[in-house]
Structure 1
Amino acid sequence: MANRTEDQIQQAVIRWSQQASVREMFPQLALLYHIPNERKCTPQQGARLKRMGVKSGVPDLHLPVARGVYHGLYLEMKTEKGRVSANQAWWLERLRENGCCCVVCRSWEDAAHTLVTYLTEGRADDRERN
């Protein structure tokens, strides 16, 4: 399906990861979670969330499973033409410096491939460095 939003792509990744056949092969996907940093809220709610530790640019999905040389996997979801912001690039680089695998994915298929490769081979093609 062309012209999917980032939300739609990410929801498709989660639906894929929750399939019984996928979970049977990769039970670690039960640990895959979304980091809710997007905000549509009042200024007061935004200030409260910031005090609670919400930070701009943190990647969308995290799989806290060590593989190979990595401590965990972070996925930043983008549309085909979506751009990584300066804050997102900063986070991706800091996480890489600290032993995490970080990948920008532009489709649910791309994310699924990344997750499978990471879980089976302990690596992921880091296709997009910023």
Structure 2
Amino acid sequence: MTMHAISLRDPRPVSEESIQRAVIQHLKLTAAPGVVYFHCPNGEARSKATGARLKAMGVRRGVADICLVLPSGRSAFLELKSAKGRPSDEQKAFAADVSKSGALYAVAASIDQALQILIEWGALNARKEAA
């Protein structure tokens, strides 16, 4: 009889997009009453002309992946990263700016970490989330 080693490691890393889609799905299903959330599509390749037009309209590099207004009226920003991802200099500058204004800011590198942050912020109904 031949024994084979079993790897418990998932061979496919979870992408930032997959994490974001899962977090948005949780928000759709379990957001606390009064929570407003959205994503600013600042990424993606664009022509120079479109990039210049958007920049003139206020698009800013480094904006967090998910922007929220909490039931208290406080703003919160959640940056999502894959396990190996790191915040860019622009993202660090955005984090510093919004933190100075009193907004909440966090970086999450997994679905579980993102959901825990959202529960702590009061954005998710913890009872529904735990069910």
TM range (shorter): 0.7 to 0.9
Question: Following superposition, which runs of at least 4 residues in structure 1 exceed 4 angstroms of deviation?
Answer: none
Which residue is equivalent to 2:17? 7
Shift of 1:66: 5.7
Question: What's the TM-score once normalised by structure 1's chain length?
Answer: 0.78
Please, which runs of 5 or more residues in structure 2 have no aligned partner?
Answer: 1-9, 124-131
Q: Percent identity?
A: 31
Equivalent residue runs for 1:1-130 within 5 Å: 3-19=13-29, 22-23=30-31, 26-29=32-35, 31-65=36-70, 67=72, 71-119=74-122
Please, which runs of 5 or more residues in structure 1 have no aligned partner?
Answer: 121-130
Higher helix share: 1
Question: What's the TM-score once normalised by structure 2's chain length?
Answer: 0.78
On the 8 A contact 1:32/1:63 being kept in 2, the answer is yes
CA distance in 2 between partners of 1:53 and 1:101 (Å)? 21
CA RMSD of aligned residues (A): 1.9
Q: Larger Rg: 1 or 2? A: 2
Higher relative CO (Cα under 8 Å, sequence separation at least 6) belongs to 2
For these two proteins, the number of residue pairs brought into alignment is 113
